[in-house]
Amino acid sequence: MRVIARNADCREALALITDYTNWARASAQVLSVIVEREGDGLSTSSWEVVFRGGLMRWSERDHVKIDELREAF
């Protein structure tokens, strides 16, 4: 997936990219993303995507620190 965030500073761009619920609208291969927010930048996201002609599902623990410009999963 490619995203262009024109006229956005680094923090705004990272906030857009890490709003995983938007990914299904941006890519036909991403069927759904459900995010359970826990606070302090922590969340769990559950993904369902089309991959190599099949369906792939997984959950990941996400940690986003906008002020530090960091994302880990």
Residue 35: CB atoms within 10 A of its CB come to 15
Contacts of 9 (CB under 8 A, 6+ apart): none
Asked whether residue 42 is domain-assigned, the answer is yes
Q: Which helix (H) or strand (E) holds 69?
A: none
Question: Is the pLDDT confidence value at 1 over 60?
Answer: no
Number of domains in the chain: 1
Question: Is the pLDDT confidence value at 2 over 70?
Answer: no
Summarised one tens digit per residue, pLDDT across range 48-73 is: 999 999 999 999 999 999 999 999 99
- What is the pLDDT, as a whole number, of residue 3? 63
Asked whether residue 5 is domain-assigned, the answer is no
Asked whether residue 60 is domain-assigned, the answer is yes
- Verdict on whether the full-model pTM lies above 0.75: yes
- What is the pLDDT, as a whole number, of residue 5? 66
Nearest to 51 by CA among 71, 20, 27, 22: 27
